[in-house]
């Protein structure tokens, strides 16, 4: 059962080929036997999952089940779930039991999905390798010596190893797309405001966006149908009708204009990755699409711009974790200042501390205009580049990451090199655009992802374009050896 896609699982449940409880036990057993090596889950909610599965089976018997009823899912440990530990991969929240559900969780529950557990992640979503978790590094199922990407590396690893058919992720600067690329799965970052951020623990509020992680575009479309939509709890949520994302999957892409940015194929891109991407683009030409050379002249500014904006916002958002109201509290503080210093010093990991310090500096008196304000101005220039590009083309394509998955520990002592692994994804978040990564091939037996970037609220088109590619290729059906 675990090798079926969501549509096949849904049909099997509807036809009575197996029950949701049987299906859920299959995945729970796989997690128990296989996740010891991967470390993709922080918490496994077996009892809760089986209870939800039994309810789903009753819905099938009563004829009230929907397309996602009874389908297991893994939730990134950044989404609050009532009564379940929500740690954000940090010691700071290691004992935090959420008192309410995030809107994404509520909607997936209402769709009848069965939560298997909470997936591992870089602490407070800060990282590109999933080595920054308080619970230890996650391994890439394609090569246990390699990172799975981050910060949604636990979700990517779990889906790739077939420990869950689908999972949720969040993307602040590429944290759905980059791990999707490195683990050989499909990941979609929706338009900013398309999916509610309520109950999603904030890293950088103007950049964070939740989205689906799955093995195929079809599965991602089914999941996004449940996740997307306006939420009055979230002031950044967009009040816009949600289409049926599965409705246009089979539409022809004849005449599609694909923009190829020169900046995505410049120095820094691995030759093997470039060859895989070029082959994928040729596949699109065979399907009737045309390739158009474009330029995104300010894309080189995206890394410094992002790491000023994101770190400034993380400094502000994480100031609430002070050892007073909730979160880790040091033992026997001598006074309030000692309480603050030791609680935060003990609760946060090295990468989180680094980003808080940089963000606080950028927001400090005398430096706000020079750094944060300037970064916001550059953000507009980067966004304008995409607006001009979409006057010429329908979508933009290129590599998701400059290389395949690197080895665990390879970049741990070089944060700048680590930050550069998001060089092709960051600008999409700065502009608030939708983007996705789909499997396109391998280099040295490690997956390569093709990134597809669309105009605002063009998720349906992206999913259609991705699905058409997956109808012609089998990259998304490849499974890591040992996890078949």
Asked whether the beta carbons of 188 and 451 are under 8 A apart, the reply is no
Question: Catalytic pick from 19, 90, 129, 151?
Answer: 151
The tokens of 365 are what?
A: 């008196």
Q: H-helix or E-strand containing 168?
A: strand 166-170
Q: Which residue has the tokens 């980003």?
A: 355
At a CB cut-off of 8 Å and minimum separation 6, what does 33 contact? Answer: none
Question: Catalytic pick from 175, 299, 315, 460?
Answer: 175
Q: For the chain, give me the number of helices (H) and strands (E)? A: 15, 11
The tokens of 245 are what?
A: 């994302």
Q: Which residues of 117-156 are buried (b: 16+ CB within 10 A; e: fewer)?
A: bbbbbbbbbbbbbbbbbbbebbbbbbbeebbbbbbbbbbb
Question: Catalytic pick from 76, 118, 189, 411?
Answer: 76
Q: Any idea what the Cα angle at residue 224 is, between residues 184 and 128, rounded to 5°?
A: 40
Measure the CA–CA gap between 202 and 198, rounded to whole angstroms. Answer: 9
**Which residue(s) pair with 259 in the sheet?**
292, 396
Asked about 275 being catalytic, the answer comes back as: no
Q: Which residue has the tokens 């009575």?
A: 16
Measure the CA–CA gap between 146 and 273, rounded to whole angstroms. Answer: 16
Q: How many CB atoms lie within 10 A of CB 250?
A: 11
Selection from 180, 237, 226, 159 nearest residue 452 by Cα: 180
Asked whether the beta carbons of 346 and 330 are under 8 A apart, the reply is yes
Q: H-helix or E-strand containing 447?
A: strand 446-453
Asked whether the beta carbons of 76 and 130 are under 8 A apart, the reply is no
Measure the CA–CA gap between 468 and 443, rounded to whole angstroms. Answer: 23
Measure the CA–CA gap between 228 and 330, rounded to whole angstroms. Answer: 39
Asked about 152 being catalytic, the answer comes back as: no
Measure the CA–CA gap between 360 and 367, rounded to whole angstroms. Answer: 10
Asked about 403 being catalytic, the answer comes back as: no
| Residues classed as catalytic | 76, 151, 175
């Amino acid at each position: 059962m675990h090798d079926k896609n969501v549509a096949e699982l849904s049909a099997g449940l509807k036809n009575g080929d197996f029950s949701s409880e049987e299906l859920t036990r299959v995945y729970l057993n796989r997690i128990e036997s296989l996740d010891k090596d991967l470390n993709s889950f922080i918490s496994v909610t077996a009892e809760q999952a089986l209870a939800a599965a039994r309810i789903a089976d009753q819905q099938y018997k009563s004829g009230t089940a929907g397309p996602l009823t009874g389908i297991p899912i893994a939730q990134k440990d950044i989404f609050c779930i009532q009564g379940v530990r929500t740690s954000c991969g940090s010691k700071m929240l290691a004992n935090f039991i959420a008192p309410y559900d995030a809107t994404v969780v509520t909607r997936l529950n209402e769709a009848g999905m069965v939560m298997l557990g909470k997936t591992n992640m870089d602490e407070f979503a800060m990282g590109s390798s999933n080595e920054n978790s308080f619970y230890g590094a996650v391994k890439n199922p394609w090569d246990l010596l390699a990172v799975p990407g981050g910060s949604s590396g636990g979700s990517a690893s779990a889906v790739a190893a077939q420990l869950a058919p689908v999972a949720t992720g969040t993307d602040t600067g590429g944290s759905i797309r980059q791990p999707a690329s490195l683990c050989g799965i499909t990941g979609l970052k929706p338009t900013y405001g398309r999916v509610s951020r309520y109950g999603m623990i904030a890293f950088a509020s103007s950049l964070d966006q939740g989205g689906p992680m799955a093995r195929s575009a079809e599965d991602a479309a089914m999941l996004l149908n449940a996740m997307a939509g306006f939420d009055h709890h979230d002031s950044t949520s967009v009040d816009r009708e949600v289409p049926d994302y599965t409705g246009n999957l089979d539409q022809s892409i004849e005449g599609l204009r694909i923009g190829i940015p020169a900046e995505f194929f410049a120095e820094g891109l691995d030759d093997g990755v470039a060859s895989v991407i070029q082959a994928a683009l040729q596949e699109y030409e065979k399907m009737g699409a045309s390739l158009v050379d474009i330029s995104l002249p300010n894309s080189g500014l995206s890394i410094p711009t992002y790491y000023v904006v994101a770190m400034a916002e993380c400094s502000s958002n994480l100031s609430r974790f002070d050892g007073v109201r909730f979160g880790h509290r040091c033992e026997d503080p001598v006074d309030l200042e000692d309480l603050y210093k030791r609680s935060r010093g003990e609760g946060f990991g090295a990468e989180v501390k680094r980003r808080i310090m940089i963000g606080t500096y950028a927001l400090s008196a005398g430096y706000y205009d020079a750094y944060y304000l300037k970064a916001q101005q550059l953000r507009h220039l980067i966004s304008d580049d995409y607006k001009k590009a979409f006057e010429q083309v329908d979508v933009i394509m290129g590599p998701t990451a400059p290389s395949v998955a690197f080895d665990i520990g390879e970049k741990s002592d070089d944060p700048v090199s680590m930050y550069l692994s998001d060089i092709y994804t960051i600008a999409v978040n700065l502009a608030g655009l939708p983007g996705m990564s789909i499997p396109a091939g391998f280099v040295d037996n490690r997956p390569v992802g093709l990134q597809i970037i669309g105009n605002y609220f063009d998720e349906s088109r992206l999913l259609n374009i991705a699905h058409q590619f997956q109808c012609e290729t089998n990259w998304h059906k490849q499974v890591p050896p040992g996890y078949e």
